[in-house]
RNA sequence: GGGCCUGUAGCUUAGUCAGGUAGAGCGCCGGGCUUUUAACCCGGUGGCCGGGGGUUCGAAUCCCUCCAGGCCCGCCA
């Protein structure tokens, strides 16, 4: 704990003189302090339409890491997560039944959630909540606990009223900003507020007048009415809504995807609109796309990308955080749930085992930059802020767990194995249990790399038989005979192997190579005695004598 | 058409903003550990920093230009 505090202090010291040598989140925190002072509000948002992807995770983690960096730098920081629950249902998604046609244009907060068949279920709560819930659970797994703000509640609470009034009073200016910056032409009947019609949809509703706080409308059914701007009876159009909420919540930082960041995109129009409505906007900050690819055919039409929930079911959360923390924001991330996961885990574990020390004196500028960046990435990758990275490994390497999970079918056997090898004392912590669960998911999925898969043969392959020397064959025969009397434990089997080998005229290496050849069809592998143990006495003897 | 980002070793990349001898990890090769956590340790291999031009004593870094890739400009992060 004290060490962590010291490191944060040290980072801050660096920042004063060598701001450029910081991790991007720390750099941003420092920049925010200079521009906006001690109070910071980091923000990210999501539309709970049900279509989530990893880009959302990148956005959220970027904001959350900046928030953590602000806290680490001693700033008074909040991280808010705005749910666009007032956004309308735009189309009938593939996972919805046609019955949702009737809800198009209605705010997601006000329409029913689908049941398992995709039909509206009046007893399942709101659509927005329904999809938000599992997403928030996923966020909790990666250590993200935002202040959740449902945008429809902000409308219902009247917090938007002044902004709405301001936008309507300055409708011409708003229009001018959007048209000149985005380059697109707005319809003549464009109005900076979209009231809900008689059927609860904002589609086909025309504004007929404004008398604060009421927006009068006429809808496609010929009905007319008035929307109270102090309530959730309508909303601002996206480009204005976004700009308005910056002011309402005092947002000082909100990373946006590069679609919003493009010239003329919603960030560019948001900045002047936010000022038009009387508030100071956050500085423009844009992050690149992220893509996580998996193996095999996926439901998604665009290649075979893996969604955030599925990714989290396979990838350890700190590794996912590290993927984001270790990449610069403007860097496109291509990741896969195959071999790259092993590599990323290796890299992470190397850093944990041998933490970079930015304070070392004999470092070149380059090395110091790397050390600072890496130690920042490690710090921000922890699920719990301030936690010791060593704890995240729970004492077991990713590769070791991959092996154990394959040869031990029961979790208890894995724990026993870890106890006997000294990796574990007592009962496994929840973190370790989850690691194993994810590992099993991964191994059981098509994403697990084929060459990391252990295929235990049930009999000697003919090609393999040809490779074996006379001595090796003799060894295998003798071993088979001996195994029928050997105590069936990992250790005893190992000892038997080592005892028999010399008597067959071969060294230990050749003996093991022979064993691996017949068991796995390869000349190397995980601990041989452990595999034999797992195969079981009878099957093992059958294999060796086949 | 307008704009943004990227191009450095076989792969992933650091360094680019404030120019000062190209760094790292993985892979690969060799050796060690009298042999197993696909581990670990030591050594080695490997880059005209996308091409060309310019500024400079000096350029991966700044300027111009070209090439290649990705993306945005319809509320898809």
pLDDT per residue as tens digits for the range A18-49: 444 688 899 899 889 988 999 999 999 899 98
CA–CA dist A371, A375 (Å, integer): 6
Q: Please give the protein residue whose CA is closest to the C1' of the nucleotide B35.
A: A509
Environment class of residue A31 by beta-carbon count within 10 Å: exposed (0-12), middle (13-18) or buried (19+)? middle
DSSP string, A401-448: HHHHHHH--SHHHHHHHHHHTTS--SSPPHHHHHHHHHHHHHHHSTTS
Interacting residues of A60 by C-beta distance below 8 A, sequence separation 6+: A44, A46, A81, A139, A144, A146
> Is the pLDDT confidence value at A14 over 60?
no
Q: What is the mean pLDDT of residues A272-292?
A: 89
Q: What is the mean pLDDT of residues A271-293?
A: 89
Strand partners, A290: A333
Interacting residues of A281 by C-beta distance below 8 A, sequence separation 6+: A243, A246, A247, A251, A270, A271, A274, A275
Of A243 and A292, the structure prediction assigns the larger pLDDT to: A243
Give the nearest nucleotide to A257, CA to C1'.
Answer: B77
Helix axes A2-17, A24-36, angle to 10 degrees: 70
> Is the pLDDT confidence value at A507 over 80?
no
Q: Which of A67-81, A237-251, A315-329, A479-493 has the least mean pLDDT?
A: A479-493
Q: What is the pLDDT of residues A437-472, one digit of tens each?
A: 999 999 998 888 887 888 888 888 887 887 777 888
Distance A372 CA to B73 C1' (A): 37
Q: Which of A136-150, A161-175, A263-277 has the least mean pLDDT?
A: A263-277
The confidence score (pLDDT) of residue A302 equals 43
Give the nearest nucleotide to A524, CA to C1'.
Answer: B38
Give the nearest nucleotide to A237, CA to C1'.
Answer: B75
Distance A263 CA to B15 C1' (A): 29
Q: What is the pLDDT of residues A323-378, one digit of tens each?
A: 999 898 888 888 888 888 888 888 888 888 888 877 777 677 777 788 888 889 99
CA–CA dist A352, A367 (Å, integer): 17
CA–CA dist A446, A397 (Å, integer): 22
Q: Please give the protein residue whose CA is closest to the C1' of the nucleotide B26.
A: A343
DSSP string, A58-127: HHHHHHHHHHHHHHHTT-EEEEEEEE-TTSBB-S--TTS-GGGGGGBTSBGGGSBPB-TTS-B-TTS-BH
Give the nearest nucleotide to A54, CA to C1'.
Answer: B77
Distance A95 CA to B60 C1' (A): 49
The confidence score (pLDDT) of residue A22 equals 82
Strand partners, A77: A40
Distance A150 CA to B63 C1' (A): 49
Chain mean pLDDT for chain A: 86
Instruction: Single out the residue of A509, A510, A525, A498 nearest to residue A473, CA to CA.
Output: A510
Distance A7 CA to B10 C1' (A): 38
Q: Please give the protein residue whose CA is closest to the C1' of the nucleotide B36.
A: A527
Distance A179 CA to B40 C1' (A): 64
Give the nearest nucleotide to A370, CA to C1'.
Answer: B14
Give the nearest nucleotide to A182, CA to C1'.
Answer: B73
Residue with tokens 């602000």: A70
Distance A508 CA to B33 C1' (A): 14
> Is residue A283 classed as helix, strand or coil in its secondary structure?
coil
Distance A532 CA to B64 C1' (A): 68
Distance A25 CA to B51 C1' (A): 35
Chain B nucleotides covered by protein, CB below 7 Å: 2-6, 12-18, 23-26, 34-39, 70-77
Q: What is the dihedral of CA A92, A94, A98, A102, to 10 degrees?
A: -20
> Is the pLDDT confidence value at A1 over 70?
no
CA–CA dist A388, A494 (Å, integer): 36
Give the nearest nucleotide to A302, CA to C1'.
Answer: B76
Residue with tokens 């944990």: A352
Give the nearest nucleotide to A58, CA to C1'.
Answer: B77
> Is the pLDDT confidence value at A219 over 90?
yes
CA–CA dist A51, A309 (Å, integer): 11
The confidence score (pLDDT) of residue A21 equals 62
CA–CA dist A18, A149 (Å, integer): 37
Give counts: helices (H), strands (E), chain A.
24, 12
> Is the pLDDT confidence value at A3 over 50?
no
Instruction: Kindly state the tokens that stand for A326.
Output: 């270790």
Reported ipTM: the value is 0.88
Instruction: Single out the residue of A261, A259, A257 nearest to residue A284, CA to CA.
Output: A261
CA–CA dist A167, A240 (Å, integer): 8
Distance A343 CA to B28 C1' (A): 16
Write out the E strands in A312-355.
Answer: 333-336
Q: What is the pLDDT of residues A154-210, one digit of tens each?
A: 999 999 999 999 999 999 999 988 888 887 788 888 899 999 999 999 999 999 999
pTM above 0.95, yes or no: no
């Amino acid at each position: 704990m004290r060490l962590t505090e010291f490191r944060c202090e040290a980072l801050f010291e660096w920042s004063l003189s060598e701001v450029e040598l910081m991790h991007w989140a720390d750099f941003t925190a420092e920049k925010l302090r200079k521009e906006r002072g001690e109070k910071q509000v980091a923000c990210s948002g999501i539309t709970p339409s049900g279509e989530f992807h990893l880009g959302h995770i990148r956005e959220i983690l970027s904001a959350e890491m900046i928030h953590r960096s602000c806290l680490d730098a001693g700033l008074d920081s909040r991280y808010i997560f705005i749910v666009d629950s007032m956004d309308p249902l735009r189309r009938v998604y593939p996972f919805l039944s046609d019955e949702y046609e009737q809800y198009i244009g209605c705010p997601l907060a006000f329409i029913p959630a689908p049941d398992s068949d995709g039909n509206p279920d009046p007893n399942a709560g709101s659509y927005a909540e329904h999809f938000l819930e599992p997403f928030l659970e996923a966020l909790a797994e990666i250590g993200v606990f935002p202040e959740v703000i449902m945008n429809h509640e902000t409308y219902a609470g009247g917090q938007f009223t002044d902004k709405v009034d301001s936008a309507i009073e300055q409708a011409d200016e708003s229009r001018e900003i959007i048209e000149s910056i985005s380059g697109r032409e707005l319809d003549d009947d464009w109005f900076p507020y979209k009231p809900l019609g008689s059927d609860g949809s904002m589609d086909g509703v025309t504004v007929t007048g404004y008398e604060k706080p009421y927006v009068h409308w006429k809808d496609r059914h010929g009905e007319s009415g008035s929307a109270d701007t102090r309530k959730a009876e309508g909303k601002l159009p996206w480009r204005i809504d976004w700009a308005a909420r910056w002011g309402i919540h005092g947002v000082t930082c909100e990373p946006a995807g590069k679609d919003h960041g493009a010239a003329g995109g919603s960030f560019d129009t948001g900045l002047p609109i936010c000022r038009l409505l009387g508030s100071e906007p956050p500085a423009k900050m844009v992050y690149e796309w992220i893509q996580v690819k998996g193996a095999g055919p996926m439901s998604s039409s665009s290649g075979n990308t893996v969604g955030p929930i599925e990714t989290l079911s396979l990838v350890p959360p700190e590794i996912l955080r590290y993927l984001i923390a270790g990449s610069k924001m403007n860097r496109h991330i291509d990741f896969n749930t195959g071999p790259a996961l092993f590599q990323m885990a290796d890299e992470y574990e190397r850093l944990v085992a041998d933490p970079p020390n930015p304070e070392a004196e004999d470092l070149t500028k380059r090395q110091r930059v790397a050390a600072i960046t890496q130690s920042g990435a490690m710090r921000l990758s922890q699920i719990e802020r301030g936690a010791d990275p060593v704890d995240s490994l729970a004492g077991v390497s990713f590769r070791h767990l991959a092996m154990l999970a394959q040869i031990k079918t029961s979790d208890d056997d894995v724990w026993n194995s870890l106890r006997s090898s000294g990796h574990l004392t007592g009962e496994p912590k929840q973190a370790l249990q989850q690691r194993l669960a994810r590992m099993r998911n991964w191994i059981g999925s098509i994403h697990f790399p084929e060459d990391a898969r252990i295929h235990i043969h049930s009999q000697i392959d003919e090609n393999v038989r040809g490779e074996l020397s006379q001595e090796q064959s003799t060894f295998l025969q003798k071993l088979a005979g001996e195994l029928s009397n050997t105590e069936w434990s990992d250790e005893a089997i190992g000892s038997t192997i080592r005892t028999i080998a010399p008597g067959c005229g071969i060294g230990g290496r050749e003996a093991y190579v022979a064993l691996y050849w017949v068991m796995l069809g390869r000349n190397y592998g995980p601990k041989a005695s452990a595999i034999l143990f797992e195969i079981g006495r009878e099957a093992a003897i059958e294999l060796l004598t086949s």
